Chain A
């Protein structure tokens, strides 16, 4: 964005009544303001929908973030050769110049290749390889575009998660969801434009940096929704404050604030009034949103969702409900995929357990979106911050170490060419042989589908036009329908 336009946007952001004024006797407010001083540019909420650079194939995103780094070698990237070479040291040529997490475990003795722990088969018309850990996903494989050659730059969890979300390992940059809502706004009337959900034993490493708005205005920051109790912090009115009392409070606040607006002429007060109106609407809409009891039994069963529980299945269903209400970007974190070996992180029991938690809901989400006609213009993303090594890592049991050269993600929906597996890794699954697709390329491609040119979606900060893709990124045509 040109700095001048950016300045204009930031200025006009203040002049935000438009649709939010509807709830507060918009006419009176507009009349008052007309009398006043505003020959200003068009009023716009920071989250008002904005035009795209080119026609968009996808209007919204559901990002299923598999936190911890799922082992592609037990899930999608089938490497029979690893059976043959199981227990043998990986040829040194592979390791030259490479760095890994937990380096000492690899420097003590040369790391040995580890055979896949699971059975693989081809599925669907596309004949995509999927392991027996994902029987449900295997059933919808023709709706997916599986990419086995994604590459990233960093191999520790927190920096890698931040990298996957922001295109930089440095904390403090805007995340994908923030860039998107900054770029095209949101269609949600009474919910934030960017919502984050969490399931699994713990929150993702990196925490709020993963959904940060960085140097963009904080209006674009991801808002964490809790899926039990109060979905948003401070959403519930205090004890003793009924909806009616809250409404009375908002009435008097609006009148006094309007008076102040007339006295000072500061449009920021109009924004403040609108924020209070939206907060009030959220108090009703957010609990309604997380209440799954209105879903049919069939739908609940499809996802494996149980109202009142914290689960990935519930979150998948919530994601659908969120996008139905116009939310632009929903991100689901599910922990823990960090299978180094050892208690809670072994490939034998822990991996199948977490795979089972996500398999059915992921497939259900695709099926449900499809039958509701939402998949056509919704992008669904599945993947972690990196993958895992073809070599075993010896802890209490043998697991796999973090790996950044080639790992698997899948994409589905709006504008994605489904029913294909893109990318070819070498016989051990260590690195790409063709179609290396870097995180920056993934970002560029997804923005392209959302109607944005990653080179033009910029923000001037510290003297430089920043982008989600930094100075890199190419739209990968193979992924496009």
Chain B
């Protein structure tokens, strides 16, 4: 552990601790505040008269006889049928993750095992595709999708998100498969397997840590997507994030901001759980590209 010479002087230690505390508040407070406020009425959430109302819920108590109310959630989930959007997001995320991992694993494995020059050019192309904002592609989708009459339905959005996801998946899995020694599948091939059998019997059993990390990021991409869903889905097929954006337009006029607040909190909960269980994989995935480069 730290020697005496490396120990911090008291003043620096205090300053550093205060800074960490400040960052902690900056990072966590907005979420805690919004979760707490989502159980109040609008006059408490936006408390002009006295900000402590937001904590004590004075107006909420006056209306509902208790400082907490779930009217925001009822309004969002039942009245505005937010559950449909949650369901759509669930479907989109499930299929995007499954499909993009399946085809991404095959592609990433091939890229890591081939020694020809074209792998480099394919990876560079993927890098360029990865850097492009999805919204710039959307205007290219609209006309053909209208023409073929496949605009507005979930499968179209799923396949588009899978494609947008591929460049990143390929890069992650390529560098991951590079770390699995190629002697493993070489020896399987010596024993008489063809390339696909070697992949299935030798590589698949050891690839799961990398695939799980990649899958997490694919999930986040599909879950967080706004540009594609907002432009390519019809109103009844909307996923959560475009639905929340559409909520804002309608609820602000009706004075139902709390519906949007409740929907926002509902959409944040899965992410909370995800970070809680997969913190190590997320950190690993974020740093994987960096530490090697």
Q: Are A and B physically bound partners?
A: no
Please report B residues at the A interface, Cβ cutoff 8 Å. Answer: none
